[in-house]
Amino acid sequence: MRTATADAETVTGSSGSPQRRALTAPARTALVITVAAILLGLCVLSLAAGSKAVPLDDVYRAVFDRAAARVANPQVDAIVWGVRLPRTICAVLVGSALGLAGALMQGLTRNPLADPGLLGVSAGASFAIVVAVAGLGVSSATGYVWFAFAGAFAAAVAVHLLGSLGHGGATPVKIALAGIALTFLLGSCTSAIVLRHPQALDRFRFWSAGSLTGADPGLLWRMSPFLAAGVLLAIAAGPALNSLALGDDTAIALGRRLGTIRIQAVLAITLLAGTAVAIAGPIVFIGLVVPHVTRMITGPDHRWLLPVTALLAPCLLLFADIVGRVVTRPEEVQAGIVVAFLGGPFFIALVRRQRVAEL
């Protein structure tokens, strides 16, 4: 029994990339530290860059010696603490959540094209926002975030229920089809409402571009328990997803309960992607691209794939956000748009190298 498990893990560690040996433990640790350092560097850059550039030593003083810096330079304090710090934290949280959700979705469906939006969260959130603005007259961003969250959650639950109808439970193919169907249905309803309510269109077009500007500290604080629960569930699902990668039958033979794994993964994806989409809009492309990049570095072992993705995905989002702030100063390009233009060419290059099919 013991050897069987060990064998299975060896196979998982090297399956899918025959030409690439799995990294050794010290190399992996070094990798995690490197990525974390890059993330930290980007965070600092994100505090400094923007329509008004703040020198790095001012940033340092404003963060670590706030009382003195506030008196010396109140403007910098307002920019760093009031605007850029919440925004940076928001980017890190949203990026991690979307990356993890994407890696889980790809592991669960064993499909390299799965993105976190496949469970219908983006469509559900869009629909809820449009209903909130057009039907209930909600007009503040903090007001409709909760609607978006509820919409994303309801859509994901509906997709899972529809996908698990009948014979065989919630198989990946059925979940994907149910997700696409619900996305189309909700998309139609959203269009129908938006076409008749200019007010709703006005809110909707900015939200759907995907932006981090609406981040407010209180909101992030209230959303964090959901994210934390999602992250814990996701990281805990790693070993089980490794077994699942060997096929349903092998996973069962290794003693895994398919139903439990799937429910755990779907719950984690819903929490992570639902919260992230509610805060920042549908930037699900991050969840599609980053796990592929990570897989090229760490190999397909989910115990490493998931944490490294959670560190790498916020790097992409932060970088995109910084670029979006700087490129058309003093105006801004929404992070979601920059992500697509940075991630899109990368994804295409990846496809041309024929590495995506390895999952």
Partner 1 sequence: MTSTRTTPIRPGAFRLTTPPISGVLRPRTLAVCVALAAATFAVFCVSLTLGDYPVSLPDVLRALAGSDEPGPAFVVRELRLPRALTGLLVGAAFAVSGAIFQTITRNPLASPDMIGINAGATTAVVGGIVLGTGAGLSSSTLGVLGALATALLIYLLAWRRGASGYRIILIGIGIAWMCTSATDYLLTRAKLHEAQEAFGWLVGSINGRGWETVLPLAVAVGVLLPATLLLTLWSRTLSLGDDVARGLGTPVQRARFGLLIAGVGLVAFATAAAGPVLFVALAAPQVAQRLAGQATPPPVTSALTGAFMVLASDLLARYLIPDADLPVGVVTGALGAAFLLWLLARANRAGTGG
Minimum CB separation from partner 1 for residue 314, in Å? 19
Task: By CB under 8 A, tell whether 213 contacts partner 1.
Answer: no
Q: Tell me if 247 contacts partner 1 by CB under 8 A.
A: no
Q: How many CB atoms lie within 10 A of CB 1?
A: 7
3-state SS track over 13-38: HHCCCCCCCCCCHHHHHHHHHHHHHH
Residue placing its CB nearer to partner 1 in the complex, 86 or 336: 336
What separation, in Å, do the N-terminal and C-terminal C-alpha atoms of the chain show?
A: 26
What minimum distance in Å lies between the beta carbon of 80 and partner 1? 26
Summary count for the chain: helices (H), strands (E): 17, 0
Question: Binding to partner 1 by residue 356, rule CB under 8 A?
Answer: yes
Enter the tokens of residue 284.
Answer: 């699900």
Residue 348 in contact with partner 1, rule: CB under 8 A: yes
**Residue 138 φ/ψ region, left for φ over 0, alpha for ψ in the -120 to 50 degree band, beta for the rest:** beta
In the bound state with partner 1, the residue whose beta carbon lies nearer, of 15 and 171, is: 171
State the Cα–Cα distance between residues 195 and 346, nearest whole angstrom: 35
**Is residue 252 involved in binding partner 1 (CB under 8 A)?**
no
CB of residue 113 to partner 1, shortest distance in Å: 7
Q: How many CA atoms lie within 13 A of 15 on its CB side?
A: 15
Burial call 17-47: b when 16+ CB within 10 Å, e when fewer: eeeeebbeeeebeebeeebeebbeebbeebb
Q: Which of 22, 125, 313, 340 binds partner 1 (CB under 8 A)?
A: 340
Least spacing, CB of residue 245 vs partner 1, in Å: 19
Beta carbon nearer to partner 1, 146 or 346: 346
Residue keyed to tokens 């600092």? 44
Q: In the complex, what is the shortest distance from the CB of residue 186 to partner 1, in angstroms, rounded to a whole number?
A: 8
Residue from the set 32, 181, 235, 297 that interacts with partner 1 by CB under 8 A: 181
- Residue 296 engages partner 1 in binding (rule: CB under 8 A): no
Considering only 31-39, 101-109, 160-168, 222-230, which stretch makes contact with partner 1 by CB under 8 A? 160-168
Residue 343 as a binder of partner 1 (CB under 8 A): the answer is yes
Q: Which is nearer to partner 1, 10 or 51 (CB)?
A: 51
Tokens, residue 224: 């964090």
Rg of the chain in Å (alpha carbons) = 21
Residue 144 is a binding residue for partner 1 (CB under 8 A): no
CB of 120 to partner 1, least distance (A): 11
Q: Does 333 bind partner 1 (CB under 8 A)?
A: yes
Dihedral angle computed from the Cα positions of residues 225, 226, 229 and 234, in that order, rounded to the nearest 10 degrees: -140
Residue 157 is a binding residue for partner 1 (CB under 8 A): no
Query: H or E segment at 99?
Result: helix 85-109
Residue 341 contacts partner 1 per CB under 8 A: yes
CA quadruple 337, 211, 180, 302: dihedral sign: positive
Kindly list the residues in this chain that would bind partner 1 in the complex (CB under 8 A).
113, 162-163, 165-168, 171, 173-174, 177-178, 180-182, 184-185, 187-189, 191-192, 194-196, 198, 201-202, 205-206, 208-210, 285, 333-334, 336-337, 339-341, 343-345, 347-348, 351-352, 354, 356-357
